[in-house]
Amino acid sequence: MREVIATGKTVEEATRNACAQLGLAREEVSIQILEMPVKKLFRSIPARVKATAIGEEAGEEAPAPAPAKQEQP
């Protein structure tokens, strides 16, 4: 199961960063918010999300594409 933890100024930005790291579209990942962004006087705490690829079983890798068959003349 592929998963990443990403950060961003907002939850949406953190989600976009996680999708980019996985190389998947938003519809292909499950998002769990780990930490909401907080703005404090002298610093801000970014949002943290955990993104997991949907449809992949634990330990299962994506199947490699089959090599194209070449016809002999």
End-to-end CA distance of the chain: 43
So where are the chain's domains?
3-53
Per-residue pLDDT of the chain (73 residues; tens, 9 = 90+): 788 999 999 999 999 999 999 999 999 999 999 999 999 888 999 999 999 998 765 455 555 565 666 666 6
Distance of CA 64 to the CA centre of its chain: 20
Inter-residue long-range contacts of 63-72, CB under 8 Å, 24+ positions, other chains counted: none
pTM here?
Answer: 0.69
